[in-house]
Amino acid sequence: MNYYALLLIVLILLAMYFLLGSFLWGAGYQPTPRSVLLRMMAMARIGPKDRVYDLGAGTGALVVRALDEGADSVVGIEIEPIRFWFLRWRQRRHPRGDHLELLREDFFKAELSDATVVLVFLWPGAMRRLDEKFRRELRPGTRVVSYWHPLEGWRALEEDPKKRVYLYEVPTSLRPASPGAASSAGPSGASP
Ligand SMILES: C[S@@+](CC[C@H](N)C(=O)[O-])C[C@H]1O[C@@H](n2cnc3c(N)ncnc32)[C@H](O)[C@@H]1O
């Protein structure tokens, strides 16, 4: 086998790992497209008092944009090691990189109670698990902006069906859902 063929195989394997490897941890990788990202930021209304979380920060499209929007602090949680290394690299290059906290861990185990904005681009199973976590941990007024998958049982404050972006706000009365009550006790409104 010549050198170029070997190089090609290594590159293909790396690309496959990059795209599919995080299924080992629970989800594949896909960056949020730019037009969607801008829509998410408009809905999130990030300001200088915000502490923004991106659950599954990938290669940093959302966390970098949240820094650019002037968030007081941004937390990117990513479990996959290569993407995490890339996030660190972007952090070092960003003029406001010291406002970015990077955690290489499982976001289901992270404490989210100090968030004012939570950004997610995940898969349906994760959204279902996060529903309970959000109900337990998020403070009233926290904005949750999700791309692609809505939070079942939550009433969106705003949504863009074309881009599949959904904005939710945690109300004062949010409590853990009782079994089967998700669709009638949803946040951002008394009923869906
Ligand atoms: C669809 S990508 C979204 C990337 C980024 N947020 C964006 O919008 O461009 C989902 C990311 O979540 C990460 N991920 C999946 N499960 C995770 C977990 N339990 N804890 C932390 N990160 C996770 C994956 O490795 C992947 O990078």
Q: What tens digit of pLDDT does each residue of 25-43 get? A: 556 788 999 999 999 999 9
78 CA from centroid of ligand 1 (Å): 6
Q: Are residues 60 and 115 in the same domain?
A: yes
Domain with 8, as residue range(s), is: 1-28
Q: Which atom of ligand 1 is nearest to the CA of 123?
A: 1
In a domain, 180, yes or no: no
CB 76 less than 6 A from any atom of ligand 1: no
Identify whether residues 41 and 122 lie together within a single domain: yes
Q: Is residue 190 part of a domain?
A: no
Which residues are CB-contacts of 37 (< 8 A; sequence separation ≥ 6)? 61, 62, 65
Same domain, 45 and 1: no
d(CA 120, CA 168): 12
- In this predicted structure, the answer to whether residue 184 has a pLDDT above a threshold of 80 is no
Total number of domains in the chain: 2
The answer, yes or no, to whether any atom of ligand 1 lies below 6 A from the CB of 61, is: yes
Whether residue 15 is predicted with pLDDT greater than 80 in this model: the reply is no
Q: Indicate whether 49 belongs to any domain.
A: yes
In angstroms, what is the span from residue 5 Cα to ligand 1's centroid? Answer: 32
CA distance 135 to 33: 28
Query: From ligand 1's centre to the CA of 43, what distance in Å?
Result: 20
My answer on whether 70 and 142 are in the same domain is: yes
pTM of the model: 0.86
Residues 146 and 51 in one domain: yes
CB 33 within 8 A of CB 61: no
Question: What CATH number corresponds to the domain at position 134?
Answer: 3.40.50.150
> How far is the centre of ligand 1, averaged over its atoms, from the C-alpha of 104 (Å)?
11
pLDDT of residue 18: 65
Q: Is residue 185 part of a domain?
A: no
The answer to whether the beta carbons of residues 141 and 169 sit under 8 Å apart is yes
Instruction: Please check whether residues 10 and 100 belong to one and the same domain.
Output: no
Q: Phi/psi of residue 115, each to 5°? A: -70, 145
- Residue 105 clears pLDDT 80, i.e. is over it: yes
In a domain? residue 184: no
Q: Whose CA is nearest to atom 2 of ligand 1?
A: 29
Model pLDDT for residues 111-138, shown as the tens digit of each residue: 999 999 999 999 999 999 999 999 999 9
pLDDT over 60 (residue 185): no
Same domain, 10 and 95: no
Please report whether residue 108 resides in a domain.
yes
Confidence of residue 165 (pLDDT cuts 50, 70, 90): very high
Shared domain check, 37 and 60: yes
Does 11 share its domain with 100? no
At 36-91, the pLDDT tens digits run: 999 999 999 999 999 999 999 999 999 999 999 999 999 999 999 999 999 999 99
